[in-house]
Structure 1
Amino acid sequence: MLSFSARDWAVISPLLDEALELPPEHRGDWLRALPQDAQGHRDAIAQLLEDHARVETQNFLNTLPKVSLAPDGELDQRDANARTVGPYRLLRELGRGGMSVVWLAQRCDNLPARTVALKLPHPAVAGRGFAERLARERDILASLAHPHIARLYDAGITPDGQPFIALEHVQGHTLIRHCDAATLGLRARIELFRQVLDAVEYAHAHLVIHRDIKPSNILVDEHGQVRLLDFGIAKLIVDGDAESTELTMDTGHALTPDYASPEQLAGRAVTTASDVYSLGVVLFELLTGSRPYRLSCALRTDLEEALRTIEAPRPSQCVRSEEPAALRGMTAGKLQAALRGDLDTVVLKAIQKDPRARYATVNALADDLDRYLNAQPVLAHPDGRWYRARKFVGRNKLAVASAVSVVCALAAGLGTALWEARVAQIEARTASSVESFMVDVFRTNSIEHPDPLKARETTARELLDLGSRRVESELRDAPRAKLRVLATLAEMYDELSLRDEASALAKARVRLAREEFGSSDVRLAEALTELAGNLYGSSFDSKEVEAALAEADRIFTANGDANSRARGQFYWTLAQHLQSGDLARASEAAGRSVQILRAYPDSYDLAQALTMRGILHDARKEYREAAAALTEATSLAQSLQGRTRRGLAIAYAYLGEAQDNLLDLAGAEASYRAALHASQSLRGPEHVDTVQTQLRLGHFLFTSGKPHEGLQLIREALDLVLRTKGENDSFTTPYAQSVYGRALVKYGRTEEGSRLLARAIDNRRTHRPGTRQLALMLESQAFAMTDLRRYDEAAAALDEAAGIRKKIGDTLGSGMLDAAVLGRAELLLARGRPDDAMTALAALPLPAGGANSVTRRNLDVAILMSRIELARGHAAAAAAIAARARNLIESSPLRGYLAQYETRAALAEGQALLQDKKAEPALAALERSKAVGVALYDPSSPVMVNLEAALVQCHGVLRASLDH
């Protein structure tokens, strides 16, 4: 068994990582080529490599790594024959590095048997330092939810002291191997690399620096999707300057030298620029097949000296054979030509030794790669007129086919070049100011806290508040940078569901845009559109939304802007605002938004527009059109990368509603559950989207035969809203109250439900009067008032709702909508006016499938019609109508979802048979109703009370007949 001191392990660890990345047949040559200062460790490394090879070919389930510390840092030896770690059963080894080994494992306790990648430390480093590092990785991954970052499932320490971390198991290959195996060209490689940039940019936005980006930490799955792994040495930016820490010393200098930035190797402060450098090295290797330097030195001082003295070659200079070119589908000459110029410039800027000379952010690197892919000038390129002109001509080849056109195009290109050069200079200054501001916020947090521990525990909300307080004074002389920072901070507040704070910053951005660009500039219109979007769902007055949209519309129109992407966003935001007050105009705006945005590459904006179009189709009872639009929206949102998938939950939720209305109930349940999963994964458990999707799923389950699960979900969502938003929130709180109140009324807890509905209605009347949601709440309250025999209040609620629906155009022909019609008929029946109730019920138009099609509305109508006929004294007709409804339910494949309707239909049938003096069949129907309904309704509900009364009466009739 090998034994190392912590100091020796700090040298061996990165070398072992490097060796394990090589094919086994090349490791011997690598060992022989070790530099002089690493020769003393050659035998130990060779032994470790031999042990690794033996594990790969033998019964690895009985072979765990046997490495322990020397007496100066001794650890207890783990059981080498253990097949389980905590709740996980080890299946096979997936890979290992200098710090840890990763196993394919499966849960073996009572929880779902998920397959995971289980990371275990080598015993030589599994002491307090590694446990701290593992805890750091767990905490960091728990804060990151991104489609291109491997998900954290579990982490902990077993009773015998074995630390572990369970990650998403990604079936695929490393980035380089995947690209080479598929012989991907440069464009395809760059497009794949963009996914990596999205993941790293997301981590940076959540205040995390990875610090160990390399190809072996980037996997590509079978669907061509990237996963970024190993946040084991990642650092939270809020920790302050990332100097070498006790953690680093205890667990070895756990980074890979060939990809580490100069400042990392020197032990200096590490910022997001260090990740930019590592990404640049990965991009260099991805494009050329080689690295800018190969650093096999073992001592940090030698590594630092090598990086200081060696100049990185241009990528185009590193293609010296046909082999790497063939892997990219080219000859060596063509690969050199493709790399020469823009790609050389972009890569070299990313790997500049001075962090200040690199790209200011990962997003800036991504933007330049996008510019390259779109044949536009890259901002990293020296600003030259001929370069700008050349790029212009390259993008407009057809326009320069003739000599005269060439001259004209060059003249236009030169003018464009001057303008783009100016834009590039402004953009560079703006990016630099933004980065300086953000870094200064983090540094200030660390300096102003007298307690370093408190500084490290600063939350994202506290950092946002700090940045918001400082933005006015710190960026007074950099207005464009200030505009960008305000937009970023507003978006981050929105991500945390802090809509009021986001709206306040959006207002500040509008004021600044007006000062900077004037009152007629399209950029002001864009800021106004974003303000309107932020205000929607906040506690601000809806009149502010109308004013912002009206001014934005005026500016767009004055500038002749009818088809820009910003105009498409405007129409989407307008449709969102109008959906509660003017369905016709809202539908027109949503259609216009989709039409405009389809002309651009697929985007989050188009997914939003399609979702809004589907929502409005659904509101107008156009369910098939709604499902088509929402299906397209979910497919598009699924295909988008990074944060742009955040609209997925809403699209799935409304798709579920459309499927529900089409009686595709299995599809609806799947969509509602997918919506909640997506929102929890992408937004977090407390985000407004998560709350709303949970409410929708809960309501669906409640009405579809699973009332207790549904009520629990709704109650939990309401509790969360009240805890995070408060009683006075004007958007989410009344919606949650109304959903729970409506469910309680139907369940039979009528008094409690009506009180919740009353609070929601009061809130809506105050903050959002005259909207469709208020009408729905009033109609639900009318049902409750009817059940409570407060008939005048029920009538007043229905009248108010009818006035709102008429005003917003929410009607079908000359009749009102379903809830309004059913509520009116129920009230008339309760007041002893069955003939008027039947007349009111006739206002509903016949559905497309006919009266005998199994829809919720048809069943509601049939059951109510049976009760009306019974009240009119037509017992036989009433029994026939109810029996027909019950038979439709019992023969339907949807029967499991329609249990509440089956209960009510059988009750109506039993009551009618009893009145028709058919006690025995009446008893059978009533017992059938009770067998189904006992699990669906509160015992004190009107349904169960009427059912028990009918059973008592039926038994009395049967006993009386026996007595005679």
Structure 2
Amino acid sequence: MQPERWQRLKELFMEAQELGEPERERFLERACADDTELRAELASLLAADRDAADFLENPAAAAAEPDLEDAQLSPVGRRFGRYRVLSEIGRGGMGVVYRAVRDDDTYDQVVALKLLHGGLESEFFDRRFRRERQILASLEHPNIARLIDGGADDDGRSFCVMELVDGVPIDLYCHQHRLDLVARLELVRTACSAVAFAHGRLVVHCDLKPANVLVTEDGTLKLLDFGIAKLLAPDSGEAGPAATASGWAMTPEYASPEQVRGQPVTTATDVYALGVMLYELLTGRKPYQLGTRRPEEIVLAICAEEVVRPSQAVVRPRSAAPGTSPSVASPAGPPDDSPNRLRRRLEGDLDTIVLRALAKDPQRRYGSVVQLSDDLRRHLSGMPIRARPDRLSYRAGKFVGRHRAAVAATALAVFSLLGGLAATLQQAHVAQVQRAAAERRFGEVRSLARTFIFEIHDAVAPLPGSTPVRARIIEVGLEYLERLEREAADDVSLQVELAEAYERIAAVQGGVGVANLGDLEGALRSQRRTLALRQAILRALPDEREAELALARTHSTLGDLLGEAGDAEGRQREYDAALAIRNAAADRAPDDLAVRRAVASSLWDTSQLRVDDGDLEAGLVGFERTLVEYRAIAATPGATDGDRRNLALAAKKVGAVRSVSGDLEGALASLETALAIDRERLAESPGRTETMLDVSFDHSDLGYVLLRLARPSEAVGHYEQAVDLRRTVSEADPEDVRARNVLQSGRARLGDALATAAEDPVTPCADVQGLIERAFALSAEAAADGTLSEEARATHEARLRAAGARCASP
């Protein structure tokens, strides 16, 4: 459901609630006019409100629960087995937890003792309580509160004795200790470890929230309260292939869409709850605004409301951010972090990780808690994450397949379930199964292609020696894509997915400026397929700005590839096509950040064309304009690491054109600006391959200009840093053609700089021998891997010996 439509539905519902039955009918006629679907949605919510008003404010557990002290004598002071109750600690949906002590003269031990609420003493709840004990008995993990004992008193009342955790909820702990982003992510990974352990024993927690994830003063995390956990084992007695959520036993702020719909829960349910907690710990806010806690508000918010990206949430005024007031968490930055700095740290990987965990559809979430934890680890280590953000394919699918009554039908299904209308749910389930069976075969092929091209490829890309494997993945992915393409003529969402896949393949085959397999012809074929698909997409979605900009980007990338192939005319044609599309978009939306980026990209392309044509003056003016544009974009709220990279690249281009024009001091200043920007980016994402190469190119360009300024010793320092970075990247993947090539060129330039510095008359003789030794070692390294011919090596080493002779003379 679109946010605007959801807001309209909400406003009409609030108005209709205030009216009597006759007035409501007239209001529906007047407010909905000819929009029959809107009227149906509104009528269903009003009916559901009559049948199940405030069910989440007065759940079944609470309705059955007179206060324990009213139902019988307080258990404080009483013995349960070997344990004597000392005081009450807290209350949950099913039971009350007490502080107790072992009281049999064997040894002293303070424990937590749990009893059912007095109003829930029935066979059903007693069986559930005993099952919780059995679940805890199977969960021996350092971050799960362990079961110590259990049994029943003389009256047959079951009790459970657990480890007493003297801690506070995870969000409060982070707030009190002012933990930074890294420490919070590590805590969440610890929680993931405990949850994954439970999942490995076929236990889904179903009620993960800060109150059930405590942290002690020494930083030890403990997972608590498996009272409504579900067993996924086929002989567990749970309903269906996956356990069914109990509508009365959940915490709305952390409940998943399938829980509020009354659908089966799986391990993806716990992934969602961890995503909510992660969002809260990073931003200090909850992802949804549950203002009134009415059933329809909860269902609409959780099932239909789009989650604000964490990076956007932290820069919004707190009064405007969803869920601010209930949270005790503080934002994830250091105490003196500005919102904009925190935004930059969250955008990109962490936005993607959180939104993947919070996907409405369980199938779009992480497949396991282990995958969520691993992506957090990869982010902390500076490695590429495996999750991919929702792209145009997903939104286009929503656009062409939108069912505007879906949310209202979902809300009605929940209320029907809670009202005992199981037959309606069963019919909906049967219909869903039938639809799924009809689409399964096509979906499986589509999913397999997506898995190969995106998930498996991304998983192996950072591994050493992965380039041949990536080539095979691309080959298999192409086979599936070609099979799908024959069936995608009228499926816009699939066309979008295919275009993204072909674009990805083109980059891996022979993309300009990225790690590739060196297959330029293959890259051109794939990019042309991308172009044909995106032209068809824009015809189908003429008002979709992202489709328009994606087409312009495809023209521009195809122009880059044609330039690499030596087709100057084709390159100019594609650049012109991209510029025309982007200028048209800028006329309609001059302040749109995506449009501004696109226009700056075209300005870059045309400036490069002027330089290539020999018009350095026009090229310099164009790149200086490009630099101004990217500087403004990088300073805009919502700017990304990519925007700062483009700013550095523009500064570098200005420096390069100034160098060719003879303005070496001006070139030096521009290149130092680029290096400062890229160093800051690398400090924020250490180990990221592309950023390491960016910094290496900055050092190499500075070395070149310093050599021309007759400052060889300074040039050597920059070239050595460039080679060190490139060697690290190349060793991670020896088959990466681009990494191997830039390492080769870097070593050659460093060797020349070392020789030039040794030959420089102002270089002290005490330093000359060290320069020569480093140059000889470099020469041997290049010869050993076959990148330096024997002839070139002999010439280079003769030069070095001549330089050494100067200092050997008396």
* Structure-1-length-normalised TM-score: 0.34
* Structure-2-length-normalised TM-score: 0.40
